Amino acid sequence: MEDVVSLIRTRDSFYLGTASRDGRPYIQHRGGPPGFIRVLDQQTQAWPEFKGNRQHITAGNLSENNQPFIFLMDYSLPPRIKRWGRAEVVEDCNTLIPDIRTRPYYARTERAIRFTVEAWDENCRQYIPSLSAETELINESKNSKARIAESEAEIAKLRRLTKQ
């Protein structure tokens, strides 16, 4: 379970599925800075709802049918977590997530969603592409360049020593 909590706390996005009272499905990507999904306890998590396209379909669906589904992906690692539960829209997100305004992010927070897990499962990673985030690639590139520079300096030093 700690692996699941760790995965949730590091996500910068996930997919949220809701359905209307009539059962019409709707899926929406949710994103924010890493750690925007808060784990309140083993069964409860919450996240801010940032200002978006002003359609409010998710909020409308949750007012009619409070049984959403979330799918957490890590495209660079094996875990894919599916969670079913109950959710509610919380208009005063400062009460639910007191430090929400202390974390800098460009989007305005409109409300929050509290999600209570009723069931979860790990998803098979078969057929899911392995992708790396741009920041990971940039860091790997910087590290590689630093190692190359060190190696080139060592080679130059050894060449100077062998010429003596």
Complete DSSP assignment for 72-112: EE-TTSS-EEEEEEEEEEES-HHHHSTTTTTS--SSPEEEE
pLDDT-based confidence at residue 100 (cuts at 50, 70, 90): low
Give the ranges where the chain is alpha helix by DSSP (H): 2-10, 57-64, 93-96, 134-163
Predicted TM-score (pTM) of this structure: 0.73
36 with 117, same domain: the answer is yes
Instruction: Summarize the confidence of residues 99-120 as an average pLDDT.
Output: 79
39 with 74, same domain: the answer is yes
| Contact residues for 25 (Cβ-Cβ < 8 A; gap 6+) | 17, 18, 19
90 with 154, same domain: the answer is no
Closest CA to 45 of 104, 113, 110, 94: 113
Instruction: Summarize the confidence of residues 44-68 as an average pLDDT.
Output: 88
124 with 140, same domain: the answer is no
Question: What is the count of structural domains for the chain?
Answer: 2
Range of the domain at 161: 132-164
85 with 136, same domain: the answer is no
90 with 152, same domain: the answer is no
Instruction: Summarize the confidence of residues 22-47 as an average pLDDT.
Output: 91
140 with 106, same domain: the answer is no
Q: Is 90 exceeded by the pLDDT of residue 107? A: no
